[in-house]
Amino acid sequence: MANMSPVKNPIPEQDPNVRNKNFLEVSLGYDETTAVDEAQRCLNCKNRPCVSGCPVNVQIPDFISLIAEGKFLEANAKIKETSSLPAVCGRVCPQESQCESKCVRGIKGEPVAIGRLERFAADYAMAHPTDDAVEVPAPNGHKVAVVGAGPAGLTCAGDLAAKGYDVTVFEVLHTAGGVLMYGIPEFRLPKAIVQKEIDTLKAKGVKFVLNFVVGRTETIDDLFADGFEAIFVGSGAGLPNFMRVPGEGYNGVYSANEYLTRVNLMKAYKEESPTPIYHAKKVAVFGGGNVAMDAARCAKRMGAEDVYIVYRRSEAELPARAEEVHHAKEEGIIFKLLAAPLEVLGDDDFHVKGVRCQNMELGEPDASGRRRPVPIEGSEFILDVDAVIVAIGTSPNPLIRTTTPGLDTNRKGCIVADEVGATSKEGVFAGGDTVTGAATVILAMGAGKKAAAAMDEYIQNKNK
């Protein structure tokens, strides 16, 4: 029976004043009854516009129809036909600007909660494991390498393994998962969820080699010499950008990458964790994207009394997801908008003691299409903080491009690749943040998926 409600079913969440003191997941997910009710809002449109909004081509109406029928395991299986990481995507993908933005129900109301339903199906399957063995395709006799175990690499590896390839993933850290492990906080994406997705890939025959620095341990050319016929580079964008304002060298200034890695990957929020981290009383976070929200919300949970988002444009220009901004505000994060950091101030011990800022107003649009922030004369003020987290973006690490002859990169250090991931070096494909710069998990997955198909075609044509 169709549900003609114009609004989504709400998702239960932890109380803001409880959750801002713990690292448990904020959103608690749909129960079976609510999931079926929400699924029945889907009109099962003939032209399926939602599918065109999904970078990994999930057959959205099909899996939602299965949920509506109470066939939850079948719904998850349908998603996994094209997506290697449904439990991840259901939590962190910006569905509001992708599949849900195409939903016909959104024209006169709210779109179907596609992301919440995807999460429900994946979580249900994890909670109800079957005795069915993971299907391992027959080997096709070809050997491929994947550099980086983040969302692009994991997707590429999963798709190639499904085609019978002998896949080895080389990861620089001691844990696979990339930004899913070190960047996105536990309260948004529980690491046990990510590990289960990785374990599924292992069961399909994907091998992981950890603590392996491509460009140091071995180069790309060394991997070819080892017998790999094609290589996918999905090493991400792990090199943090800084403001380049005076005082960024003081103790107590973190890049968001370092801060989030210490908290998420190294579990600094646990009392028994050996990872050192400064427990600040007042924190300023520079930036307005999802990473800035993650850093601010982590700092609050780490015990900071006041946490400020310092962003030089207005709320309308914040690049973070509206949901993340909403959650941050609920948790007590203070937004200092239309304010630009000019200098980090330090004490006699070279530790952060404040930030000198200046109020801004919006002028004409700049090259990005957003209105340019213009300083207001005489509006400087001091923000009293004892730690700063810089979250203004990242770039690809230069190690691979500087050790791989014949691999073209652009002026930002990103690998140049075509629409299917092929690079200037034969047999090398690339995708995700190492090509685009910092972007979303689902776009990286889409790039990994396209590259896997292109690598398969490349190897099959080469061996005709």
Burial of 85 per CB tally in 10 Å (0-12, 13-18, 19+): buried
For 254-273, what is each residue's pLDDT tens digit? Answer: 999 999 999 999 999 998 89
For 212-252, what is each residue's pLDDT tens digit? Answer: 999 999 999 999 999 999 999 999 999 999 999 999 999 99
Please give the average per-residue pLDDT across 133-139, as a whole number: 82
pLDDT-derived band at 3 (thresholds 50, 70, 90) equals: confident
pLDDT-derived band at 129 (thresholds 50, 70, 90) equals: confident
Domains of the chain: 16-127 (1.10.1060.10), 143-238+396-463 (3.50.50.60), 241-390 (3.50.50.60)
pLDDT-derived band at 2 (thresholds 50, 70, 90) equals: low
What the block records as the tokens of 435 is 């090509």
- Distance, in Å, from the CA atom of 319 to the CA atom of 37, rounded to the nearest integer, reads 32
Q: Is the pLDDT of residue 399 over 70?
A: yes
What the block records as the tokens of 265 is 């990957």
pLDDT-derived band at 1 (thresholds 50, 70, 90) equals: low
CB 340 within 8 A of CB 357: yes
Please give the average per-residue pLDDT across 118-124, as a whole number: 97
- Distance, in Å, from the CA atom of 295 to the CA atom of 363, rounded to the nearest integer, reads 29
Give the model's pLDDT for residue 4: 72
DSSP-based three-state secondary structure for 451: helix
For 354-389, what is each residue's pLDDT tens digit? Answer: 999 999 999 998 888 888 999 999 999 999 999 999
Give the model's pLDDT for residue 133: 66
What value does the mean pLDDT of the chain take? 95
CA distances from 37 to 47, 100, 113 (A): 23, 17, 11
Please give the average per-residue pLDDT across 101-127, as a whole number: 95
For 17-44, what is each residue's pLDDT tens digit? Answer: 999 999 999 999 999 999 999 999 999 9
Residues with Cβ within 8 Å of 47's Cβ and at least 6 positions away in sequence, in order, are none
Q: Could you tell me the pTM of the whole model?
A: 0.94
Please give the average per-residue pLDDT across 4-13, as a whole number: 86
- Distance, in Å, from the CA atom of 380 to the CA atom of 403, rounded to the nearest integer, reads 45
